[in-house]
Structure 1
Amino acid sequence: MFTCTKILAVTDPTLDQQSSLLRALRIAEKTNAQIILFSCIYDKSYDMTAVLTSDERFNMKQALVEHEKLKLAALVNELNCDANVDVVVTWYKKLHEAVIDTCHEYKCDLIVKATKKHGMLSSSLFTPSDWHIVRNSSVNVMLVKSHEWPQKGTVVSSIGVLAKDDEHNSLSDKVAETAHGLSKLLNATLHFANSFAGAPLHIAVEVPNFTPEVYNKSVQNRHTKKVLELAETYKVATDNVHVLEGLPEDIIPEVCQKYKADLLVIGSVGRTGFSAALLGNTAELIIDAVECDTMIVK
Protein backbone atom coordinates (compact mmCIF):
# COMPACT_ATOMS: atom_id res chain seq x y z
CA MET A 1 0.00 0.00 0.00
CA PHE A 2 1.36 3.43 -0.96
CA THR A 3 1.18 5.95 1.86
CA CYS A 4 2.42 9.47 2.43
CA THR A 5 1.47 12.07 5.01
CA LYS A 6 2.88 15.30 3.60
CA ILE A 7 3.65 16.21 -0.02
CA LEU A 8 5.92 19.05 -1.10
CA ALA A 9 4.49 20.29 -4.42
CA VAL A 10 7.13 22.49 -6.07
CA THR A 11 5.66 25.12 -8.39
CA ASP A 12 7.28 26.68 -11.43
CA PRO A 13 6.36 30.35 -12.10
CA THR A 14 7.18 29.91 -15.81
CA LEU A 15 4.51 27.22 -16.34
CA ASP A 16 0.89 28.03 -17.20
CA GLN A 17 -0.34 24.86 -15.49
CA GLN A 18 1.08 23.71 -12.16
CA SER A 19 1.16 19.98 -12.85
CA SER A 20 2.93 19.33 -9.56
CA LEU A 21 -0.10 20.58 -7.62
CA LEU A 22 -2.52 18.58 -9.77
CA ARG A 23 -0.54 15.36 -9.18
CA ALA A 24 -0.22 16.10 -5.46
CA LEU A 25 -3.98 16.63 -5.23
CA ARG A 26 -4.63 13.33 -6.99
CA ILE A 27 -2.43 11.50 -4.49
CA ALA A 28 -3.81 13.45 -1.51
CA GLU A 29 -7.36 12.45 -2.48
CA LYS A 30 -6.40 8.81 -1.92
CA THR A 31 -4.01 9.17 1.03
CA ASN A 32 -5.38 12.21 2.93
CA ALA A 33 -1.89 13.70 2.79
CA GLN A 34 -1.29 17.36 3.53
CA ILE A 35 0.15 19.42 0.66
CA ILE A 36 2.84 22.06 1.08
CA LEU A 37 2.49 24.17 -2.07
CA PHE A 38 5.99 25.59 -2.42
CA SER A 39 7.52 28.36 -4.49
CA CYS A 40 11.11 29.59 -4.43
CA ILE A 41 11.59 33.08 -5.88
CA TYR A 42 14.50 35.46 -6.35
CA ASP A 43 14.89 38.69 -8.29
CA LYS A 44 18.40 39.56 -9.46
CA SER A 45 17.71 43.26 -9.02
CA TYR A 46 17.77 42.53 -5.28
CA ASP A 47 21.59 42.35 -5.57
CA MET A 48 21.85 45.87 -7.03
CA THR A 49 23.07 47.40 -3.79
CA ALA A 50 24.42 50.49 -5.54
CA VAL A 51 20.93 51.38 -6.78
CA LEU A 52 18.64 50.21 -3.98
CA THR A 53 18.83 51.13 -0.31
CA SER A 54 18.57 48.39 2.33
CA ASP A 55 14.97 49.43 3.08
CA GLU A 56 14.06 49.39 -0.61
CA ARG A 57 15.56 45.93 -1.00
CA PHE A 58 13.67 44.64 2.03
CA ASN A 59 10.36 46.13 0.85
CA MET A 60 10.85 44.75 -2.66
CA LYS A 61 11.56 41.28 -1.27
CA GLN A 62 8.50 41.34 0.99
CA ALA A 63 6.25 42.61 -1.80
CA LEU A 64 7.36 39.87 -4.21
CA VAL A 65 6.95 37.14 -1.60
CA GLU A 66 3.45 38.33 -0.67
CA HIS A 67 2.47 38.60 -4.33
CA GLU A 68 3.57 35.00 -4.94
CA LYS A 69 1.67 33.79 -1.86
CA LEU A 70 -1.52 35.50 -3.04
CA LYS A 71 -1.11 34.04 -6.52
CA LEU A 72 -0.74 30.48 -5.20
CA ALA A 73 -3.60 30.93 -2.74
CA ALA A 74 -5.81 32.06 -5.62
CA LEU A 75 -4.77 28.96 -7.59
CA VAL A 76 -5.79 26.70 -4.70
CA ASN A 77 -9.16 28.49 -4.39
CA GLU A 78 -9.73 28.23 -8.12
CA LEU A 79 -9.25 24.45 -8.01
CA ASN A 80 -11.82 24.25 -5.19
CA CYS A 81 -10.12 21.20 -3.72
CA ASP A 82 -10.88 19.44 -0.45
CA ALA A 83 -7.24 18.72 0.41
CA ASN A 84 -5.36 20.46 3.19
CA VAL A 85 -3.02 22.84 1.31
CA ASP A 86 -0.56 25.24 2.92
CA VAL A 87 1.28 27.82 0.81
CA VAL A 88 4.99 28.37 1.51
CA VAL A 89 7.12 30.90 -0.42
CA THR A 90 10.88 31.15 0.11
CA TRP A 91 13.29 33.84 -1.07
CA TYR A 92 16.43 31.98 -2.12
CA LYS A 93 18.85 31.88 -5.05
CA LYS A 94 19.23 28.12 -5.42
CA LEU A 95 15.98 26.25 -5.99
CA HIS A 96 17.27 22.77 -5.21
CA GLU A 97 18.69 23.82 -1.85
CA ALA A 98 15.45 25.56 -0.93
CA VAL A 99 13.44 22.45 -1.90
CA ILE A 100 15.60 20.08 0.15
CA ASP A 101 15.62 22.41 3.16
CA THR A 102 11.85 22.96 3.03
CA CYS A 103 11.20 19.24 2.64
CA HIS A 104 13.24 18.60 5.77
CA GLU A 105 11.72 21.50 7.72
CA TYR A 106 8.13 20.43 7.07
CA LYS A 107 8.92 16.69 7.34
CA CYS A 108 7.54 15.89 3.89
CA ASP A 109 7.80 12.31 2.64
CA LEU A 110 7.30 13.01 -1.08
CA ILE A 111 8.51 15.77 -3.41
CA VAL A 112 6.47 16.43 -6.57
CA LYS A 113 8.00 18.71 -9.19
CA ALA A 114 6.97 19.59 -12.75
CA THR A 115 9.38 19.34 -15.68
CA LYS A 116 9.35 20.90 -19.13
CA LYS A 117 11.29 21.23 -22.36
CA HIS A 118 13.97 23.90 -22.18
CA GLY A 119 13.66 25.02 -25.79
CA MET A 120 12.99 23.92 -29.35
CA LEU A 121 16.54 22.62 -29.80
CA SER A 122 16.76 20.91 -26.42
CA SER A 123 16.08 17.21 -26.04
CA SER A 124 16.40 17.29 -22.25
CA LEU A 125 13.39 17.78 -20.02
CA PHE A 126 15.30 18.32 -16.83
CA THR A 127 17.12 21.27 -15.34
CA PRO A 128 20.23 21.05 -13.16
CA SER A 129 17.92 21.80 -10.21
CA ASP A 130 15.87 18.68 -11.04
CA TRP A 131 18.97 16.49 -10.95
CA HIS A 132 20.24 18.07 -7.72
CA ILE A 133 16.88 17.42 -6.06
CA VAL A 134 16.82 13.79 -7.23
CA ARG A 135 20.37 13.16 -6.03
CA ASN A 136 20.18 14.95 -2.70
CA SER A 137 16.65 14.19 -1.56
CA SER A 138 16.26 11.61 1.19
CA VAL A 139 12.60 11.05 0.23
CA ASN A 140 10.94 9.88 -2.98
CA VAL A 141 10.73 12.37 -5.83
CA MET A 142 8.08 12.49 -8.54
CA LEU A 143 8.95 14.41 -11.72
CA VAL A 144 5.79 15.13 -13.69
CA LYS A 145 4.95 16.20 -17.23
CA SER A 146 2.01 18.27 -18.42
CA HIS A 147 -0.31 15.41 -19.42
CA GLU A 148 -3.30 14.20 -17.40
CA TRP A 149 -3.40 10.91 -15.53
CA PRO A 150 -6.19 8.69 -16.89
CA GLN A 151 -8.63 6.91 -14.59
CA LYS A 152 -7.20 3.50 -15.51
CA GLY A 153 -3.62 4.03 -16.64
CA THR A 154 -0.41 2.04 -16.78
CA VAL A 155 2.45 1.95 -14.30
CA VAL A 156 5.82 0.49 -15.34
CA SER A 157 8.34 -0.48 -12.68
CA SER A 158 12.03 -0.78 -13.56
CA ILE A 159 13.16 -3.86 -11.65
CA GLY A 160 16.82 -4.61 -11.03
CA VAL A 161 17.77 -8.15 -10.01
CA LEU A 162 20.95 -10.15 -9.30
CA ALA A 163 22.77 -7.12 -7.91
CA LYS A 164 26.02 -7.89 -6.06
CA ASP A 165 25.28 -5.61 -3.09
CA ASP A 166 22.48 -5.65 -0.52
CA GLU A 167 21.72 -1.95 -1.02
CA HIS A 168 20.61 -2.38 -4.63
CA ASN A 169 18.71 -5.61 -3.89
CA SER A 170 16.84 -3.88 -1.06
CA LEU A 171 16.10 -0.96 -3.37
CA SER A 172 14.61 -3.29 -6.00
CA ASP A 173 12.19 -4.68 -3.42
CA LYS A 174 11.25 -1.15 -2.37
CA VAL A 175 10.71 -0.08 -6.00
CA ALA A 176 8.40 -3.06 -6.61
CA GLU A 177 6.46 -2.36 -3.42
CA THR A 178 6.09 1.34 -4.26
CA ALA A 179 5.00 0.62 -7.82
CA HIS A 180 2.42 -1.88 -6.60
CA GLY A 181 1.05 0.61 -4.09
CA LEU A 182 0.80 3.36 -6.69
CA SER A 183 -0.90 1.08 -9.21
CA LYS A 184 -3.53 0.25 -6.59
CA LEU A 185 -3.87 3.90 -5.63
CA LEU A 186 -4.39 4.95 -9.24
CA ASN A 187 -6.36 1.86 -10.30
CA ALA A 188 -3.70 1.25 -12.94
CA THR A 189 -2.22 -1.83 -14.63
CA LEU A 190 1.27 -2.68 -13.35
CA HIS A 191 4.16 -3.92 -15.50
CA PHE A 192 7.60 -5.09 -14.33
CA ALA A 193 10.47 -4.42 -16.74
CA ASN A 194 14.02 -5.74 -16.51
CA SER A 195 17.01 -5.87 -18.85
CA PHE A 196 20.13 -8.02 -19.00
CA ALA A 197 23.46 -7.71 -20.79
CA GLY A 198 24.06 -10.25 -23.53
CA ALA A 199 27.39 -11.90 -24.28
CA PRO A 200 30.00 -9.59 -25.87
CA LEU A 201 30.47 -10.45 -29.52
CA HIS A 202 34.24 -10.84 -29.28
CA ILE A 203 33.89 -13.72 -26.80
CA ALA A 204 32.31 -15.91 -29.47
CA VAL A 205 35.48 -15.50 -31.55
CA GLU A 206 38.07 -15.67 -28.78
CA VAL A 207 36.63 -18.51 -26.66
CA PRO A 208 36.30 -21.95 -28.30
CA ASN A 209 33.00 -23.81 -27.95
CA PHE A 210 31.28 -20.71 -26.57
CA THR A 211 27.70 -20.29 -27.78
CA PRO A 212 26.32 -16.75 -27.23
CA GLU A 213 22.72 -17.89 -27.73
CA VAL A 214 22.96 -20.49 -24.96
CA TYR A 215 24.68 -18.03 -22.64
CA ASN A 216 22.10 -15.29 -23.27
CA LYS A 217 19.21 -17.68 -22.73
CA SER A 218 20.73 -18.82 -19.44
CA VAL A 219 21.14 -15.24 -18.21
CA GLN A 220 17.62 -14.34 -19.32
CA ASN A 221 16.18 -17.32 -17.48
CA ARG A 222 17.96 -16.32 -14.25
CA HIS A 223 16.65 -12.75 -14.52
CA THR A 224 13.16 -13.92 -15.44
CA LYS A 225 13.01 -16.27 -12.44
CA LYS A 226 13.86 -13.43 -10.04
CA VAL A 227 11.42 -10.97 -11.61
CA LEU A 228 8.62 -13.57 -11.65
CA GLU A 229 9.17 -14.15 -7.93
CA LEU A 230 8.57 -10.44 -7.32
CA ALA A 231 5.63 -10.49 -9.73
CA GLU A 232 4.02 -13.32 -7.78
CA THR A 233 4.47 -11.40 -4.51
CA TYR A 234 2.73 -8.32 -5.91
CA LYS A 235 0.14 -10.15 -8.05
CA VAL A 236 1.54 -8.87 -11.37
CA ALA A 237 0.30 -10.86 -14.36
CA THR A 238 2.94 -12.99 -16.11
CA ASP A 239 2.11 -11.28 -19.42
CA ASN A 240 3.07 -7.97 -17.78
CA VAL A 241 6.60 -9.14 -16.92
CA HIS A 242 9.19 -8.08 -19.51
CA VAL A 243 12.81 -9.31 -19.39
CA LEU A 244 14.71 -8.17 -22.45
CA GLU A 245 18.30 -8.13 -23.65
CA GLY A 246 19.94 -4.72 -23.80
CA LEU A 247 20.94 -1.72 -21.78
CA PRO A 248 18.36 -0.53 -19.22
CA GLU A 249 18.49 3.02 -20.61
CA ASP A 250 17.29 1.54 -23.93
CA ILE A 251 14.94 -1.21 -22.74
CA ILE A 252 12.97 0.63 -20.03
CA PRO A 253 11.96 3.59 -22.28
CA GLU A 254 10.97 1.09 -25.00
CA VAL A 255 8.68 -0.77 -22.60
CA CYS A 256 7.19 2.53 -21.37
CA GLN A 257 6.48 3.62 -24.94
CA LYS A 258 5.09 0.25 -26.06
CA TYR A 259 2.62 -0.01 -23.18
CA LYS A 260 1.84 3.72 -23.05
CA ALA A 261 3.02 4.16 -19.47
CA ASP A 262 1.60 7.05 -17.48
CA LEU A 263 4.09 6.58 -14.66
CA LEU A 264 7.52 4.95 -14.40
CA VAL A 265 8.76 3.86 -10.97
CA ILE A 266 12.54 3.56 -10.72
CA GLY A 267 15.09 3.34 -7.94
CA SER A 268 18.10 5.56 -7.39
CA VAL A 269 20.85 5.16 -4.83
CA GLY A 270 21.92 8.58 -3.59
CA ARG A 271 25.44 9.70 -4.44
CA THR A 272 27.77 12.09 -2.70
CA GLY A 273 31.03 13.85 -3.43
CA PHE A 274 32.51 13.95 -6.93
CA SER A 275 30.25 11.22 -8.32
CA ALA A 276 27.17 13.28 -7.40
CA ALA A 277 28.36 16.04 -9.72
CA LEU A 278 28.39 13.77 -12.77
CA LEU A 279 25.39 13.32 -15.04
CA GLY A 280 24.63 10.12 -16.84
CA ASN A 281 24.14 7.29 -14.37
CA THR A 282 21.67 4.62 -15.46
CA ALA A 283 18.66 5.97 -13.56
CA GLU A 284 19.13 9.48 -14.92
CA LEU A 285 19.56 8.24 -18.50
CA ILE A 286 16.27 6.35 -18.19
CA ILE A 287 14.44 9.26 -16.56
CA ASP A 288 15.54 11.63 -19.30
CA ALA A 289 14.44 9.23 -22.07
CA VAL A 290 10.84 8.49 -21.03
CA GLU A 291 7.83 10.63 -21.91
CA CYS A 292 5.78 9.77 -18.82
CA ASP A 293 5.92 10.90 -15.21
CA THR A 294 8.65 9.32 -13.11
CA MET A 295 8.68 8.34 -9.46
CA ILE A 296 12.25 8.04 -8.16
CA VAL A 297 12.39 5.77 -5.13
CA LYS A 298 15.28 6.58 -2.79
Structure 2
Amino acid sequence: MLGVERILVAITQDEGAAFVLEKAVILANAADAKLEVIHVVYESLADLSVQAVEKDQTLKTFILSAAESWLEDQLDGVRHKVKSLDSATLWNKDAWQGILHAAEVSQSDLIIKATNIEEDRALSIRTPQDWNLLRHTTIPVMLVKPSAWIKAPIIMAAIDALNEDQFELSKKVLIEADQLASILGGELAIVCSYPLLEPWAGQAAVGIDFQQLRDDIERVARKAIAKLTDAANVSFNYLYIEEGRPAMRLRSLADETQAEILVMGTVGRTGVKSFVIGNTSETILQYTQCDVVVLR
Protein backbone atom coordinates (compact mmCIF):
# COMPACT_ATOMS: atom_id res chain seq x y z
CA MET A 1 0.00 0.00 0.00
CA LEU A 2 2.78 2.43 0.84
CA GLY A 3 4.35 1.74 -2.56
CA VAL A 4 1.23 2.89 -4.39
CA GLU A 5 1.73 5.99 -6.54
CA ARG A 6 -1.69 6.40 -8.14
CA ILE A 7 -5.08 5.23 -6.90
CA LEU A 8 -8.11 4.92 -9.16
CA VAL A 9 -11.39 5.53 -7.33
CA ALA A 10 -14.65 4.52 -9.00
CA ILE A 11 -17.74 6.12 -7.46
CA THR A 12 -21.42 5.89 -8.26
CA GLN A 13 -24.17 8.46 -7.89
CA ASP A 14 -25.46 7.50 -4.46
CA GLU A 15 -25.05 8.36 -0.80
CA GLY A 16 -22.04 6.05 -0.47
CA ALA A 17 -19.78 8.17 -2.68
CA ALA A 18 -18.62 10.37 0.20
CA PHE A 19 -17.49 7.35 2.24
CA VAL A 20 -15.57 5.88 -0.68
CA LEU A 21 -13.78 9.19 -1.24
CA GLU A 22 -13.03 9.51 2.47
CA LYS A 23 -11.34 6.11 2.51
CA ALA A 24 -9.42 6.89 -0.68
CA VAL A 25 -8.12 10.15 0.79
CA ILE A 26 -6.84 8.36 3.89
CA LEU A 27 -4.92 5.83 1.80
CA ALA A 28 -3.66 8.41 -0.71
CA ASN A 29 -2.22 10.59 2.04
CA ALA A 30 -0.61 7.62 3.78
CA ALA A 31 1.00 6.49 0.52
CA ASP A 32 1.66 10.03 -0.78
CA ALA A 33 -0.25 8.91 -3.86
CA LYS A 34 -2.23 10.73 -6.52
CA LEU A 35 -5.96 10.15 -6.92
CA GLU A 36 -7.87 9.56 -10.13
CA VAL A 37 -11.62 9.65 -9.48
CA ILE A 38 -13.98 8.39 -12.17
CA HIS A 39 -17.72 8.10 -12.59
CA VAL A 40 -18.89 5.61 -15.23
CA VAL A 41 -22.23 6.53 -16.77
CA TYR A 42 -24.65 4.29 -18.66
CA GLU A 43 -26.97 2.31 -16.40
CA SER A 44 -28.82 5.51 -15.50
CA LEU A 45 -30.40 5.41 -18.96
CA ALA A 46 -32.75 2.56 -18.13
CA ASP A 47 -35.82 4.53 -19.22
CA LEU A 48 -34.43 5.18 -22.68
CA SER A 49 -33.82 2.79 -25.53
CA VAL A 50 -30.20 2.04 -26.38
CA GLN A 51 -30.80 3.13 -29.97
CA ALA A 52 -32.21 6.50 -28.91
CA VAL A 53 -29.25 7.27 -26.69
CA GLU A 54 -26.61 6.21 -29.17
CA LYS A 55 -28.20 8.21 -31.99
CA ASP A 56 -28.87 11.35 -30.05
CA GLN A 57 -25.43 12.80 -29.38
CA THR A 58 -26.96 15.90 -27.84
CA LEU A 59 -28.73 13.84 -25.22
CA LYS A 60 -25.59 11.85 -24.51
CA THR A 61 -23.59 15.05 -24.09
CA PHE A 62 -26.21 16.44 -21.73
CA ILE A 63 -26.16 13.30 -19.59
CA LEU A 64 -22.36 13.31 -19.42
CA SER A 65 -22.36 16.99 -18.53
CA ALA A 66 -24.84 16.40 -15.70
CA ALA A 67 -22.73 13.50 -14.42
CA GLU A 68 -19.59 15.63 -14.57
CA SER A 69 -21.30 18.36 -12.56
CA TRP A 70 -22.34 15.85 -9.93
CA LEU A 71 -18.80 14.46 -9.77
CA GLU A 72 -17.27 17.91 -9.36
CA ASP A 73 -19.72 18.65 -6.54
CA GLN A 74 -18.50 15.52 -4.77
CA LEU A 75 -14.87 16.53 -5.22
CA ASP A 76 -15.17 20.16 -4.10
CA GLY A 77 -14.32 19.29 -0.53
CA VAL A 78 -11.74 16.66 -1.42
CA ARG A 79 -9.22 18.28 -3.77
CA HIS A 80 -7.46 20.27 -1.05
CA LYS A 81 -6.99 17.12 1.06
CA VAL A 82 -4.64 15.32 -1.35
CA LYS A 83 -1.55 16.34 -3.28
CA SER A 84 -3.07 15.61 -6.68
CA LEU A 85 -6.54 14.69 -7.92
CA ASP A 86 -7.74 14.15 -11.47
CA SER A 87 -11.30 13.27 -12.41
CA ALA A 88 -13.22 11.98 -15.40
CA THR A 89 -16.73 10.93 -16.34
CA LEU A 90 -16.79 7.95 -18.68
CA TRP A 91 -19.45 6.51 -20.97
CA ASN A 92 -19.43 2.71 -20.91
CA LYS A 93 -22.18 0.10 -20.86
CA ASP A 94 -20.08 -2.09 -18.57
CA ALA A 95 -18.71 -0.14 -15.63
CA TRP A 96 -16.00 -2.71 -14.95
CA GLN A 97 -14.59 -2.27 -18.44
CA GLY A 98 -14.58 1.49 -18.03
CA ILE A 99 -12.80 1.14 -14.70
CA LEU A 100 -10.12 -1.18 -16.07
CA HIS A 101 -9.54 1.04 -19.10
CA ALA A 102 -9.16 4.10 -16.88
CA ALA A 103 -6.76 2.22 -14.60
CA GLU A 104 -4.64 1.22 -17.57
CA VAL A 105 -4.56 4.72 -19.07
CA SER A 106 -3.73 6.37 -15.73
CA GLN A 107 -1.24 3.62 -14.83
CA SER A 108 -2.91 3.18 -11.45
CA ASP A 109 -1.55 0.79 -8.83
CA LEU A 110 -4.79 0.26 -6.90
CA ILE A 111 -8.51 0.37 -7.65
CA ILE A 112 -11.01 1.38 -4.97
CA LYS A 113 -14.68 0.72 -5.66
CA ALA A 114 -17.83 0.75 -3.57
CA THR A 115 -19.74 -2.48 -3.27
CA ASN A 116 -23.28 -3.07 -2.07
CA ILE A 117 -23.80 -5.95 0.33
CA GLU A 118 -27.21 -7.28 1.30
CA GLU A 119 -26.85 -7.30 5.07
CA ASP A 120 -30.00 -9.30 5.75
CA ARG A 121 -29.10 -12.31 3.67
CA ALA A 122 -27.05 -15.30 4.76
CA LEU A 123 -25.21 -15.11 1.46
CA SER A 124 -23.73 -11.72 0.60
CA ILE A 125 -23.93 -11.37 -3.16
CA ARG A 126 -21.67 -8.84 -4.81
CA THR A 127 -22.63 -7.52 -8.22
CA PRO A 128 -21.59 -8.98 -11.60
CA GLN A 129 -19.64 -5.75 -12.10
CA ASP A 130 -17.53 -6.64 -9.04
CA TRP A 131 -16.96 -10.20 -10.24
CA ASN A 132 -15.86 -9.10 -13.69
CA LEU A 133 -13.59 -6.42 -12.28
CA LEU A 134 -11.85 -8.94 -10.02
CA ARG A 135 -11.53 -11.56 -12.75
CA HIS A 136 -9.93 -9.25 -15.28
CA THR A 137 -7.85 -6.82 -13.24
CA THR A 138 -4.07 -7.07 -13.06
CA ILE A 139 -3.72 -4.73 -10.06
CA PRO A 140 -5.06 -4.88 -6.47
CA VAL A 141 -8.71 -4.04 -5.95
CA MET A 142 -10.32 -2.75 -2.76
CA LEU A 143 -14.08 -3.23 -2.51
CA VAL A 144 -15.44 -0.98 0.24
CA LYS A 145 -18.73 -0.62 2.05
CA PRO A 146 -20.42 2.80 2.05
CA SER A 147 -19.53 3.47 5.69
CA ALA A 148 -16.61 5.02 7.54
CA TRP A 149 -13.79 2.97 9.04
CA ILE A 150 -13.90 2.67 12.80
CA LYS A 151 -11.01 3.65 15.04
CA ALA A 152 -8.37 0.98 15.79
CA PRO A 153 -9.85 -1.56 13.34
CA ILE A 154 -9.02 -5.22 13.00
CA ILE A 155 -7.30 -5.90 9.67
CA MET A 156 -7.55 -9.57 8.77
CA ALA A 157 -4.99 -11.27 6.51
CA ALA A 158 -6.18 -14.55 4.98
CA ILE A 159 -3.21 -16.65 3.91
CA ASP A 160 -2.61 -20.16 2.62
CA ALA A 161 0.41 -20.87 4.81
CA LEU A 162 0.28 -24.63 4.18
CA ASN A 163 0.70 -24.15 0.43
CA GLU A 164 4.35 -23.46 -0.35
CA ASP A 165 3.46 -22.58 -3.94
CA GLN A 166 1.59 -19.54 -2.60
CA PHE A 167 4.45 -18.30 -0.39
CA GLU A 168 5.03 -15.06 -2.31
CA LEU A 169 1.31 -14.30 -2.55
CA SER A 170 0.81 -14.95 1.17
CA LYS A 171 3.80 -12.75 1.92
CA LYS A 172 2.30 -9.97 -0.20
CA VAL A 173 -1.01 -10.32 1.67
CA LEU A 174 0.75 -10.00 5.03
CA ILE A 175 2.67 -6.90 3.97
CA GLU A 176 -0.47 -5.24 2.62
CA ALA A 177 -2.52 -6.04 5.72
CA ASP A 178 0.27 -4.87 8.03
CA GLN A 179 0.54 -1.56 6.18
CA LEU A 180 -3.22 -1.03 6.37
CA ALA A 181 -3.13 -1.75 10.10
CA SER A 182 -0.35 0.81 10.48
CA ILE A 183 -2.16 3.44 8.39
CA LEU A 184 -5.45 3.03 10.27
CA GLY A 185 -3.94 2.50 13.72
CA GLY A 186 -5.40 -0.98 13.86
CA GLU A 187 -4.42 -4.51 14.78
CA LEU A 188 -3.36 -7.33 12.47
CA ALA A 189 -5.08 -10.69 12.64
CA ILE A 190 -3.76 -13.61 10.58
CA VAL A 191 -6.06 -16.43 9.51
CA CYS A 192 -4.99 -19.77 8.06
CA SER A 193 -7.59 -22.46 7.49
CA TYR A 194 -7.39 -26.08 6.39
CA PRO A 195 -10.09 -28.56 5.24
CA LEU A 196 -12.26 -30.57 7.59
CA LEU A 197 -10.54 -33.80 8.55
CA GLU A 198 -13.63 -35.91 9.30
CA PRO A 199 -16.15 -35.37 6.50
CA TRP A 200 -16.63 -39.11 6.22
CA ALA A 201 -16.63 -42.29 8.29
CA GLY A 202 -15.76 -45.85 7.48
CA GLN A 203 -13.04 -48.46 7.56
CA ALA A 204 -10.44 -46.03 6.25
CA ALA A 205 -10.85 -43.88 9.39
CA VAL A 206 -10.21 -46.74 11.81
CA GLY A 207 -7.09 -46.15 13.87
CA ILE A 208 -6.62 -42.52 12.87
CA ASP A 209 -6.09 -40.12 15.75
CA PHE A 210 -7.74 -37.03 14.31
CA GLN A 211 -6.83 -34.83 17.26
CA GLN A 212 -3.17 -35.74 16.84
CA LEU A 213 -3.50 -35.00 13.14
CA ARG A 214 -4.98 -31.59 13.92
CA ASP A 215 -2.14 -30.88 16.34
CA ASP A 216 0.41 -31.84 13.70
CA ILE A 217 -1.22 -29.59 11.11
CA GLU A 218 -1.31 -26.68 13.53
CA ARG A 219 2.36 -27.16 14.37
CA VAL A 220 3.30 -27.15 10.69
CA ALA A 221 1.08 -24.12 10.08
CA ARG A 222 2.64 -22.16 12.94
CA LYS A 223 6.10 -22.90 11.59
CA ALA A 224 5.07 -21.82 8.08
CA ILE A 225 3.44 -18.65 9.40
CA ALA A 226 6.57 -17.79 11.39
CA LYS A 227 8.60 -18.15 8.20
CA LEU A 228 6.15 -15.93 6.31
CA THR A 229 6.00 -13.20 8.94
CA ASP A 230 9.80 -13.16 9.15
CA ALA A 231 10.04 -12.82 5.37
CA ALA A 232 7.40 -10.08 5.34
CA ASN A 233 8.89 -8.41 8.43
CA VAL A 234 5.51 -8.09 10.12
CA SER A 235 4.20 -8.79 13.60
CA PHE A 236 0.62 -9.70 14.42
CA ASN A 237 -1.81 -9.29 17.28
CA TYR A 238 -4.00 -12.33 16.66
CA LEU A 239 -3.48 -15.70 14.99
CA TYR A 240 -6.24 -18.10 14.00
CA ILE A 241 -5.46 -21.55 12.62
CA GLU A 242 -8.86 -22.95 11.81
CA GLU A 243 -10.26 -26.25 10.59
CA GLY A 244 -13.07 -25.89 8.08
CA ARG A 245 -14.06 -24.34 4.78
CA PRO A 246 -12.13 -21.06 4.32
CA ALA A 247 -15.21 -19.07 3.32
CA MET A 248 -17.20 -20.20 6.35
CA ARG A 249 -14.37 -19.78 8.84
CA LEU A 250 -13.40 -16.36 7.50
CA ARG A 251 -16.96 -15.11 7.68
CA SER A 252 -17.32 -16.37 11.25
CA LEU A 253 -14.02 -14.84 12.34
CA ALA A 254 -14.72 -11.56 10.58
CA ASP A 255 -18.05 -11.37 12.40
CA GLU A 256 -16.60 -12.42 15.76
CA THR A 257 -13.68 -9.98 15.61
CA GLN A 258 -15.69 -7.28 13.81
CA ALA A 259 -12.88 -6.97 11.28
CA GLU A 260 -13.03 -3.87 9.11
CA ILE A 261 -10.89 -5.09 6.23
CA LEU A 262 -10.04 -8.54 4.88
CA VAL A 263 -6.90 -8.81 2.75
CA MET A 264 -6.65 -11.90 0.59
CA GLY A 265 -4.91 -13.21 -2.49
CA THR A 266 -6.28 -14.88 -5.56
CA VAL A 267 -4.56 -16.76 -8.34
CA GLY A 268 -5.42 -15.32 -11.74
CA ARG A 269 -7.04 -17.59 -14.31
CA THR A 270 -7.25 -17.33 -18.06
CA GLY A 271 -9.50 -18.60 -20.81
CA VAL A 272 -12.80 -20.29 -20.04
CA LYS A 273 -11.85 -20.86 -16.40
CA SER A 274 -11.77 -17.10 -15.79
CA PHE A 275 -15.56 -17.03 -16.18
CA VAL A 276 -16.29 -19.78 -13.67
CA ILE A 277 -17.62 -18.72 -10.27
CA GLY A 278 -16.81 -21.04 -7.41
CA ASN A 279 -13.11 -21.01 -6.56
CA THR A 280 -12.09 -20.38 -2.96
CA SER A 281 -11.44 -16.67 -3.40
CA GLU A 282 -14.80 -15.99 -5.02
CA THR A 283 -16.61 -18.02 -2.38
CA ILE A 284 -14.91 -16.04 0.37
CA LEU A 285 -15.98 -12.81 -1.31
CA GLN A 286 -19.57 -14.04 -1.40
CA TYR A 287 -19.68 -14.71 2.32
CA THR A 288 -17.73 -11.82 3.84
CA GLN A 289 -19.40 -8.53 4.69
CA CYS A 290 -16.41 -6.30 5.47
CA ASP A 291 -14.22 -4.28 3.11
CA VAL A 292 -12.02 -6.57 1.02
CA VAL A 293 -8.64 -6.07 -0.64
CA VAL A 294 -7.89 -8.63 -3.35
CA LEU A 295 -4.29 -9.14 -4.47
CA ARG A 296 -2.87 -11.28 -7.25
What TM-score, normalized by structure 2, do the two folds share? Answer: 0.89
Structural mapping, 1:23-42, within 5 Å: 23-42=23-42
Report the equivalent of 1:48.
Answer: 51
| Alignment length (residue pairs) | 291
Q: Which of 175, 178, 186 does residue 177 from structure 1 map onto?
A: 175
CA distance in 1, matches of 2:113, 2:279: 20
What residue identity is the alignment partner of 1:213?
Answer: Q
Structural mapping, 1:136-175, within 5 Å: 136-163=136-163, 166=165, 168-175=166-173
Report the equivalent of 2:97.
Answer: 97
The answer to whether the 8 A contact 2:2-2:30 is kept is no
CA deviations 1:68-123 (Å, max 9, x no partner) are: 11111111113464212211111111111111111001100000000114697794
CA deviations 1:219-269 (Å, max 9, x no partner) are: 1211122113334554424x6111011111111122212211111100011
What residue identity is the alignment partner of 2:181?
Answer: S
Question: In structure 1, the residue corresponding to 2:8 is in which secondary structure?
Answer: strand
CA distance in 2, matches of 1:53, 1:250: 45
Report the equivalent of 2:264.
Answer: 266
Which runs of 5 or more structure 1 residues have no equivalent in the other structure? none
What residue identity is the alignment partner of 2:69?
Answer: L
Report the equivalent of 2:238.
Answer: 240
CA deviations 1:11-37 (Å, max 9, x no partner) are: 112445443222111111212211111
What TM-score, normalized by structure 1, do the two folds share? Answer: 0.89
CA deviations 1:39-63 (Å, max 9, x no partner) are: 11123536334xx794xx1111111
CA distance in 2, matches of 1:6, 1:297: 16
Report the equivalent of 2:126.
Answer: 126
CA deviations 1:115-149 (Å, max 9, x no partner) are: 11469779434110101111111000000002211
Q: Deviation of residue 2 (structure 1)? A: 2.6
Cα distance change, pair 247–22 in 1 and its aligned pair in 2 (3 A): same
What residue identity is the alignment partner of 1:212?
Answer: F
Question: In structure 2, the residue corresponding to 1:40 is in which secondary structure?
Answer: strand
CA distance in 2, matches of 1:284, 1:115: 15
The answer to whether the 8 A contact 2:117-2:145 is kept is no
CA distance in 1, matches of 2:173, 2:204: 39
Residue identity over aligned pairs, in percent, reads 22
CA RMSD of aligned residues (A): 2.3
The answer to whether the 8 A contact 1:268-1:296 is kept is yes
CA distance in 2, matches of 1:20, 1:290: 18
Report the equivalent of 1:66.
Answer: 65
Q: Which moved more, 1:243-252 or 1:38-47?
A: 38-47
CA distance in 2, matches of 1:153, 1:53: 46
Q: Which moved more, 1:125-134 or 1:18-27?
A: 18-27
What residue identity is the alignment partner of 1:224?
Answer: R
